[in-house]
Amino acid sequence: MSMLIIVLICSYLINTVCSYTITFPTLRRNYAVVTNVNIKQISDYEKTEFIKLFNSVPLIMFKNQKINPIEYYEFCKLFDDKHNNEVIHPFEYSKVDIVPQIALRGNCYIKDLHGIKDTYLKYSDPFKNTLVWHQDIVGQGTYLPPVVSSMYMIKSPSKGGNTLFASLEDAYDSVDTNIKDKIYDMKVIYSNTKSGMMNSHFDYTGYNRVKSNELIIQKEENIITKEPLVVYSNSNRNRKALMLSPFRFVKFDKMSCSDSFDLYRELMSKNIVNKDNIVDVKWENNDLLIFNNRKLIHTSTPTLEYKDCDRLYYSCFLGTKSPIMQV
């Protein structure tokens, strides 16, 4: 009888511990979807397993989570053991009052939610028509780029509103050897200038900005920071990635604007955002997405796709002490 009880207990524990399901929608297994789990009630074992998963898979969706901002923020912190509580997102006007590390983002009217009152959330003009590829906070110069970025979808639009991701690790792996030799110690110059950045006529992707960037670099105050182009993507230093954010890109250090953009276009079109390297994430309400901002570049699809639909989500850029590891 005692043996039977032990067997039943073991069976119960196994089923309890392994009750969630993980699927991989992509052939490269660089995107995981976790179902049948409530992140508010996960065990220490499950926490450990999810952290292991994040270390190998840079993009994880947790489906059907009903959480508040505090629960959301506490869950995000699991995935970076060097996190801090700095408020690093730039969205001061829409930060959540009880957790200022989280901001409300989207395309909708907010009457009164988390201290935000009578406010219309909307995207700036460049997001309307084009893909605005970027890494969060890269090139800003004030804070270290987060390892962990996250989105929690409160209300998804009935059409459009997808988020696209591209692997910067796989992008580096695909770079031709002669180009790798050329870029291994290269620095990227970023600017925070607002000159033309927020209008629909400005080429936010950077493909045709050579002339405007030649004007930007004439003023020293426009140059915010220089960051390495090639970095180690984990603390074990056994994998390399590109770090390239078009958001504030000006040029490569010690290279002309014209030559910089020749190289930039090649890296972006051939290695980073080619169709085989893109993961298309489709949203449902209560989806929680955790992604490694040091390993991925991302963009929303053009907001004109859902201009007549509401879209609302929490956005978390998790402050970190984790250094950028140049090769």
DSSP 78-133: TT-TTEEEEE--S-GGGB-SS-TTEEEEEEEEEEEETTEEEEEE---THHHHS---
For residue 289, what pLDDT is reported? 98
Task: Inform me whether the pLDDT recorded for 164 exceeds 80.
Answer: yes
Long-range contacts of 112-115 (CB under 8 A, 24+ apart): 114/69
> Considering the entire predicted model, what is its pTM?
0.89
Task: Inform me whether the pLDDT recorded for 201 exceeds 50.
Answer: no
- What percent of the chain is modeled with pLDDT above 70? 84
Task: Inform me whether the pLDDT recorded for 158 exceeds 70.
Answer: yes
Listed in sequence order, the DSSP H helices in the chain are 2-17, 44-56, 69-77, 126-129, 168-174, 177-183, 210-216, 257-266
Average pLDDT over residues 183-208: 62
pLDDT digits (tens, 9 = 90+) for 284-296: 999 999 999 999 9
Q: What is the mean pLDDT of the chain?
A: 87
For residue 212, what pLDDT is reported? 55
For residue 5, what pLDDT is reported? 54
Higher pLDDT, 143 or 209: 143
Average pLDDT over residues 47-51: 97
Q: Which range among 1-10, 59-68, 184-193 has the greatest average pLDDT?
A: 59-68
For residue 199, what pLDDT is reported? 38
Q: Which residues are within 8 A (CB) of 283 and not within 5 positions of it... i.e. 6 or more apart?
A: 153, 156, 161, 162, 163
For residue 245, what pLDDT is reported? 87
pLDDT digits (tens, 9 = 90+) for 119-135: 999 877 777 877 888 89
Q: Which range among 91-95, 244-248, 315-319 has the greatest average pLDDT?
A: 315-319
Helix%, strand%, coil% for the chain, nearest 5: 30, 30, 40
For residue 131, what pLDDT is reported? 83
Average pLDDT over residues 193-199: 45
For residue 192, what pLDDT is reported? 66
- What percent of the chain is modeled with pLDDT above 90? 67
For residue 6, what pLDDT is reported? 54
For residue 95, what pLDDT is reported? 95
Task: Inform me whether the pLDDT recorded for 283 exceeds 80.
Answer: yes
What the chain holds in terms of domains, given with CATH numbers, is 20-327 (3.60.130.10)
CA distance 206 to 198: 13
CA 217 to chain centre: 28
For residue 122, what pLDDT is reported? 86
For residue 57, what pLDDT is reported? 97
Task: Inform me whether the pLDDT recorded for 15 exceeds 80.
Answer: no
Q: Which range among 108-112, 258-262, 304-308 has the greatest average pLDDT?
A: 108-112
For residue 7, what pLDDT is reported? 43
pLDDT band with cut points at 50, 70 and 90 for residue 211: low
Task: Inform me whether the pLDDT recorded for 305 exceeds 80.
Answer: yes
Average pLDDT over residues 293-314: 92
User: Exposed, middle or buried: residue 63 (CB in 10 Å: 0-12, 13-18, 19+)?
Assistant: middle
Average pLDDT over residues 23-32: 94
